[in-house]
Amino acid sequence: MADTKREIERKFEFSRAKSARLGVPDLTGTAAIAAVRDQGTVDLDAVYYDTPDQRLAADGLTLRRRTGGADAGWHLKLPVSPGVRDEIGVALSDTVPRPLAALLRSRVRGAALEPQVRLLSSRRVSHLLDADGALLAELSTDAVRAERGEATAAWTEVEVELADGVDPGLLDAVEKTFRKAGLKVCDAPSKLARALAETGTAPPARPAGDGSDGTAGAYVLAYLREQRDALIAQDPAVRRDLPDSVHRMRVATRRLRSALKTYRTVLDRTVTDPLGEELRWLAAELGVDRDQEVLLERLQTRLDELPRTLLLGPVRGRLRTWNATRRSGSRRRALAALDSPRHLALLDSVDALLDEPPLRKAARGRAERVLPRAVLRDYERLAGRVAAALALAEGHERDLALHEARKAAKRARYAAEAATPALGKPAKRLAKAMKKVQSLLGDHQDSVVARDALLGLAVQAAGAGESAFTWGVLYAHEEALAARREQELPDIWAKASEPGPRAALG
C-alpha cells in the first residue's frame, strides 16, 4: 500500500567555512517559532535507482530505497513546483515495488532501474514549535557521504520541511535568518542531484529546443518537445487519479497531433501521419474517462441550480450510481491504454521523431515566413466549417456540423499558440479569438452530449418506478442553452474573424 504526502521544504548549505564551524543558528523567535526541540540523531542509508542514462534525474524525479529512520522504505519523489514535491512511500522490499514502477513506466519503458548512487547520512533532527507546542516544521542537519563506484563526495546540508497546513511564508523567514548566519539556499535541487554532480555523473543536459536559430523547424520542434514532456509528466498523475490529470494528458496528446497536421510543410507526413493516428487512438482512450468527468460535473451543476421543489425522486443517488458504473469502466480503459505496449511504442516513436526529425525544405526557412501560412490555412478550414454549419437548419445535422467546426476551432487555436513564440502578439491575439469560438462551440457540444445522458437517466428512472420529471426539466434547460449558443455564434464568429490579427501575422 502506497502512502503519499506533499513535501514543502527548502534546503540550505553553509556559504563559508566559518559559518559551518558555528553551526545552525537558533531559530527561536523567527516568525511563529517559539521553541526548538532536539529529537536526536539518526543514521540513514539510501540507495537511489535510475535508468543507466538517468532519465529520472533528468526530469527531477528521485527513487530510493532507504533504511534507518521512522520512514524506512521505498520513496518516489515527483516534482510539483520549486521546493514542492509529492513523496510516495511503499514498504521495504528487495525490488522496486510495482506501484512505483507503474508510476515510472512512461519514463522508464523497457529500460532497467538500477542502483546509481548511495547516500549515507547522519541526520540531526529538531522540531520547530509554535507557542502552543504545535509542530511547524522539521529541521534536519545532514552530514552526507555520497558513493558511486570509486567516486565519493561529502557535504553538510540543512533542510527545513513544513508540517501539514503551515504557511510556506515560514520558509522565507527561516531563509532570512539563515542568510545572516552564512547559510544559503542549495544550488542543487536535491541531494541526488548534488551527489551526481560531485561524483562526475550528472544527467545529460536536455536540448535547448527554443527556436533560437530562427527557423520554422526549430520552433515547431520546440513546441513538440514541450507537448511530449507534458504527455510523459501527466502519465503518473493520471495513474494517481489527480484532478484534471486526464484532461491535461489528453490536451497534450491533441496538441501534438494537431501540430503534426498543421505544420506538414515542415515535417514529412509519411513519418508524422502514422504517429498522428496513434495519438488519435490515445486521445480516444483517455477521452472516455475525461468525457465522463466533464459530463458528471455539468449534470451536478445543473441539479444544484434547480429549486428543491423541482428535485423529484432520488435524483442525486441515481446520478451517483450512473456515474460510478460508467466511470469505473472508463478509468479501467484509460489505465489499460497506459499500460499497453502500444502506448509505450507511441512514446518511443515521439522520441524518435524528435531525435531525428523528418524535416522538409520549409523547415530551414525563417519562422516568420513559414509559420503564418500554416496558421492561416487552419483558420480558412475553420471558416469553411462555420459557414457550412450556419447554412444548415436547426437539428441533428447542424449539431454534427457545429461539432466539426469546434474541432477545427481547436486546431486553429493550437496552431496559433504554437506559433506565438515566433510570431508574438498577432499569433497570441488570433489564438485568443479562436479560443472564444472553441469555447462557445464546446458548450454547445457538451449540451448535445448532456441531453443524450439525461434522456438515458430519465429512461432508467422510469424503469425503476421513479419520477423522470427532474431529468426532463434539465433536458429542456440544455435544449434552450444550445439554442442560445447557436444564436450567439454569428456575432462571436464575426469578431473572431476580423482581418486585423491575420493580416498582422505577415
Q: Which residues fall within 8 angstroms of residue 129, CB to CB, at 6 or more apart?
A: 33, 34, 35, 36, 37, 135, 136
Report, as an integer, the average pLDDT of 98-118: 95
Predicted local distance difference test score (pLDDT) of residue 210:
57
Q: How far apart are CA 360 and CA 377, in angstroms?
A: 18
With b meaning 16 or more CB within 10 Å and e meaning fewer, what string describes 51-65? Answer: beebbbbbebbbbbb
Predicted local distance difference test score (pLDDT) of residue 83:
85
Predicted local distance difference test score (pLDDT) of residue 189:
83
Predicted local distance difference test score (pLDDT) of residue 397:
95
Proportion of the chain above pLDDT 90, given as a percent: 83
Proportion of the chain above pLDDT 70, given as a percent: 98
Q: Please answer whether residues 90 and 103 qualify as being in contact, where contact means their C-beta atoms are separated by less than 8 angstroms.
A: no
Q: How far apart are CA 331 and CA 313, in angstroms?
A: 29
Predicted local distance difference test score (pLDDT) of residue 359:
95
Report, as an integer, the average pLDDT of 216-236: 96
Is residue 207 predicted with pLDDT exceeding 80?
no
Tell me the pLDDT tens digit for each residue of 177-200.
Answer: 999 999 999 988 889 989 998 988
For 477, what's the count of Cα atoms within 13 Å in the CB-facing half-sphere?
17
Predicted local distance difference test score (pLDDT) of residue 439:
97
Which pairing describes strands 35-50 and 62-67: parallel, antiparallel, or unpaired?
Answer: antiparallel
Tell me the pLDDT tens digit for each residue of 54-70.
Answer: 999 999 999 999 999 88
- Local structure of 23: helix, strand or coil: coil
Tell me the pLDDT tens digit for each residue of 252-264.
Answer: 999 999 999 999 9
Predicted local distance difference test score (pLDDT) of residue 206:
63
Report, as an integer, the average pLDDT of 230-241: 94
The dihedrals phi and psi of 267, each to the nearest 5 degrees, come to -120, 140
Per CATH, domain 3-198 is 2.40.320.10: yes
Provide the 8-state DSSP code for 215.
B
Report, as an integer, the average pLDDT of 313-334: 88
Q: Which of 14-23, 232-241, 263-272, 395-404 has the lowest mean pLDDT?
A: 14-23
Predicted local distance difference test score (pLDDT) of residue 205:
66
Is residue 20 predicted with pLDDT exceeding 80?
no
* DSSP-assigned states of every residue in 35-89: EEEEEEEEEEEEEEEE-TT-HHHHTT-EEEEEESSTT-EEEEEEEEETTEEEEEE
Report, as an integer, the average pLDDT of 121-128: 96
- Local structure of 11: helix, strand or coil: strand
Per CATH, domain 213-290+314-365 is 1.20.120: yes
Mean pLDDT for the chain? 93
Is residue 17 predicted with pLDDT exceeding 80?
no
Is residue 445 predicted with pLDDT exceeding 60?
yes
Report, as an integer, the average pLDDT of 291-296: 88
Predicted local distance difference test score (pLDDT) of residue 458:
95
Domain ranges of the chain: 3-198, 213-290+314-365, 366-506
Report the alpha-carbon angle 499-503-506, nearest 5: 165
Q: How far apart are CA 103 and CA 56, in angstroms?
A: 11
Predicted local distance difference test score (pLDDT) of residue 283:
93
Q: How far apart are CA 360 and CA 3, in angstroms?
A: 49
Report, as an integer, the average pLDDT of 166-171: 95
Residue 64 pairs in a beta bridge with 48, 75
Confidence of residue 471 (pLDDT cuts 50, 70, 90): very high
Predicted local distance difference test score (pLDDT) of residue 505:
84
Task: Cell 515510472: give the residue.
Answer: 104
Provide the 8-state DSSP code for 125.
E
Tell me the pLDDT tens digit for each residue of 82-94.
Answer: 889 999 999 999 9
Predicted local distance difference test score (pLDDT) of residue 324:
87
